[in-house]
């Protein structure tokens, strides 16, 4: 099985980039399953039912998210109508933290270092893997994890913690892709951050001037997605269907004007 995991989609520029590139990539790379992080899809903050549908129309199969998924209240009552996850370790929040897409388990977790204090992502991973096993009557063979976290150390930590137990651990949230994609010794594909799908002449997808103003003055600003050329950051992962072990991971980064 061949999976494409795509970094945070930033507002309309990100949605348009996805709509242009993803159908081509799906064909060109013979992709079976597409996961994308949707936490910044609507105006850069959160997700709405309409923008969620746009991602599905572009060819996304499962949407993961992170801390910004709560920014647009419109999505909350509709959470379960979509193949949409929020980090599993938000205790008592609406929505769900893992799902089965066919026989593939997709799990979304969030870090706690320089992030809101939520439940432990390590213990949560154990708990959700057991929960899936109980529900299926057998351990899920193929498991894809989006770990939405700030600190590289915490991401590497979870990668090692889950090595050999899941097919992939990919990081999201920083909006900057990392050059450390590899297969860990136990057969888990790993990358510290996928990056983003959005405007490159920006500060992590956002228009530069208000960000600089906030850094210089400390005053709150209104943030909008930037304009101009965009990039799609992702990784392509090959998984052995018989074992659930990853056999290859490569970065796929594509630009559009």
Q: Which of 30, 68, 101, 175 is catalytic?
A: 68
Residue whose token pair is 């709560």: 70
Whether 30 is catalytic is: no
Which spans in 105-242 are helix H? 121-136, 152-162, 208-217
Residue 33, by phi and psi: left (phi above 0), alpha (psi -120 to 50) or beta? beta
Nearer to Fe ion, 8 or 54 (CB): 8
Q: How far is the CB of 239 from Fe ion (least distance, A)?
A: 25
Q: How many CB atoms lie within 10 A of CB 53?
A: 12
Q: How far is the CB of 195 from Fe ion (least distance, A)?
A: 10
The answer to whether 127 and 99 are in contact (CB under 8 A) is no
Taking the complex as a whole, the smallest distance from the CB of residue 237 to Fe ion amounts, in Å, to 20
166, exposed or middle or buried, with CB in 10 Å at 0-12, 13-18, 19+?
Answer: buried
Residues found near Fe ion in the complex (CB under 5 A): 8, 39-40, 66-67, 173
Q: Which residue, 8 or 207, has its beta carbon nearer to Fe ion?
A: 8
Work out how close the CB of 173 gets to Fe ion at its nearest, in angstroms, rounded to a whole number: 4
For Fe ion, give the closer residue by CB, 10 or 31: 10
How would you label 171-187 residue by residue, b for 16+ Cβ within 10 Å and e otherwise?
bbbbbebbeebebbeeb
Q: Which is nearer to Fe ion, 128 or 175 (CB)?
A: 175
What phi and psi values does residue 184 have, to the nearest 5 degrees? -70, 160
Q: In which residue are the tokens 């860990």 written?
A: 184
Q: Among 59, 14, 70, 67, which residue's Cα sits nearest to residue 35?
A: 59
CB of 53 to Fe ion, least distance (A): 20
- Confirm if 175 and 195 have CB atoms less than 8 A apart: yes
Nearer to Fe ion, 10 or 183 (CB): 10
Residues identified as active-site: 68
């Amino acid at each position: 099985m061949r999976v494409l995991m795509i970094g945070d989609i930033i507002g309309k520029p990100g949605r348009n980039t996805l709509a242009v590139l993803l159908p081509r990539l799906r064909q060109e790379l013979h992709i079976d399953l597409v996961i994308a992080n949707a936490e910044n899809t609507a105006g850069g903050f959160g997700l709405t039912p309409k923008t969620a549908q746009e991602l599905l129309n572009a060819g996304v199969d499962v949407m993961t998210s992170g801390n910004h998924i709560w920014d647009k209240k419109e999505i909350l009552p509709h959470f379960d109508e979509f193949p949409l996850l929020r980090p599993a370790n938000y205790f008592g929040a609406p929505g769900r933290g893992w799902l089965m897409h066919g026989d593939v388990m997709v799990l979304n977790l969030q870090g706690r270092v320089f992030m809101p204090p939520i439940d432990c992502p390590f213990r949560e991973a154990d708990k959700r893997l057991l929960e899936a096993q109980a529900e299926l009557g057998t351990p899920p063979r193929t498991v894809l994890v989006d770990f939405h976290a700030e600190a590289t150390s915490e991401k590497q930590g979870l990668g090692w913690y889950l090595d050999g137990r899941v097919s992939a651990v990919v990081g999201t949230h920083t909006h900057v892709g990392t050059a450390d994609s590899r297969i860990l010794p136990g057969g888990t594909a790993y990358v510290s951050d996928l990056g983003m799908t959005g405007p490159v002449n920006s500060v992590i997808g956002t228009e530069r001037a208000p960000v600089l103003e906030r850094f210089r003055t400390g005053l709150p600003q209104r943030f909008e997605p930037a304009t101009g050329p965009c990039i799609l950051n992702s990784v392509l992962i090959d998984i052995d269907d018989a074992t659930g072990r990853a056999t290859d991971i490569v970065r796929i980064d594509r630009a559009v004007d």
